[in-house]
Amino acid sequence: MILTDLRTTAVMFFKAAVAAADPKLSLRRALQENPLPTNDDGQIILIAFGKASVALMEEALNHIPAGKTYKALAVTNYENFQFIKGCEVHASGHPVPDENGASAAIRVIEMLKNTDENDYILTLISGGGSALLPAPCAGLTLQDKIKANKILLQNGYNITEINMIRQHLSELKGGGMAELAQKSTIQSFIISDVIRDDLRVIASGPTVSPIAPKSEAVALLKSRGHWSLLPTTVQATLSEPGAARPDINGMRVTNKLICSNRQSLLAMQDTAKPFDAEILNFGLDGDVADAAETIVKDIHRKLKNEAQALIWGGETTVTVKGGGKGGRNQELALRVAEKLSTIQGEWIFMSAGTDGRDGPTDAAGGIVDAGTIDRLARSGHNIKGFLDQSDSNSALKHSGDLLITGGTGTNVADVQLFLRIPRKAT
């Protein structure tokens, strides 16, 4: 097997990870266990939002009982947009919210406000929902939210911390959807894109209770030194005591996880033959530089004199230091390539987002090998300069190591893979 084959094999692993997170199959199983109501009272309202919402909605519509009155609305990112018969579909911005997302949020709010106790609401939630469905609180503009979100993303806040703060800036997040329709029965089926599958974090928890009160969000921002960077309107909103949202436990709300990163990692392991495969971490997180150190230590610790596959999954963070372009997966791949130059034999390392989009780029991530750093050097570039500018996308473009897949229609965080074939003794 030659190095090109290792790259092809890595892409096969990635496809297996994505296939295991198939939204339609996951929802089909869930609706077989929890079928939609068939009684004549009220209507069924289907609301899907996130990067998997098109597939989820297509499957959900197949389960509407014959003759049952329903309304359906889906919100997804531009790359995954498709028309769906019998459903109103909106496309909006990700990772930066936009006016189309705000308009979609207004439609969702209208639908929820007009429900009554006889209605059954099915919400289909997947990763990306926070950005795709922005609903600024009174006193805030969409630009206020965009600026606050940018500050959080560029300064290394993890997804739990980001969503803890965003929940208090939104009409829909942190249980807001459930509060708007609290007279109705709500069933949420959720695909997780976060580590440890905390339902309060996924898409900022629209049908669950908030992660923490405003006071904790304020304390976190002040302790990191970023409070003063926020728009004054955001500071005012977070500083207002305000009434806490009702406890979701007191409502007719059921939240059920139907798919997560774990299934994708297990699928990669099943795909691994003839490699000796091992999953080393189901929850890789933290700063991308620290994660790279962890991965490299894992690799050195686990090296064997046989074909092997090492697997990780999770979601890291990046502290943006310059004006470059990249994402957490591309930077992780680049940092690992820099540190693995002494590994013998043929090897590759892949880090990729299961949604097919890493940060504000068209790449899913990167696949690097023993020649990555040399190829950069031969093209007249220095890896340190790229890392100092947070410009991993340009670096991997120069070395020919970008993984570009297009949108996958799902999102269960990131996967990492190390494949190696030892050098034969001569």
Of the residues 243, 259, 275, the one at which a domain ends: 259
CB 40 within 8 A of CB 13: no
Q: How far is CA 167 from CA 46, 160, 184, 232, 237, in A?
A: 22, 10, 22, 17, 11
Residue 239 domain flag = yes
The mean-pLDDT minimum among 135-144, 172-181, 236-245 falls in 236-245
pLDDT tens string 311-324: 999 999 998 888 89
Give the separation between CA 340 and CA 321, rounded to whole angstroms: 24
Domain span including residue 114: 22-259
- Residue 408 and residue 190 in contact, taking contact as beta carbons nearer than 8 Å: no
Is 426 within the bounds of a domain? no
The residues, ordered by sequence, that sit 6+ positions from 384 with a Cβ below 8 Å of its Cβ are none
Same domain, yes or no, for 254 and 266? Answer: no
pLDDT over 70 at 373, yes or no:
yes
Both 339 and 255 in a single domain?
no
In a domain? residue 175: yes
The tokens describing 376, both together, are 């950069």
What's the total number of domains in the chain? 2
Over residues 49-61, the mean pLDDT reads: 97
Question: Cα separations (Å) of 207 from 102, 130, 226, 311?
Answer: 19, 13, 29, 32
Rounded average pLDDT over 131-138: 95
Angle, helices 328-339 vs 392-399, to 10°: value is 60
Token readout for 140 is 């805030």
The whole-model pTM stands at 0.89
The predicted-structure confidence for 274-284, as pLDDT tens digits, reads as follows 888 999 999 99
Among 259, 282, 303, the domain-final residue is 259
Q: Tens of pLDDT along 163-191?
A: 999 999 999 999 999 999 999 999 999 99
Of 404, 421, 387, residue with least CA distance to 292: 387
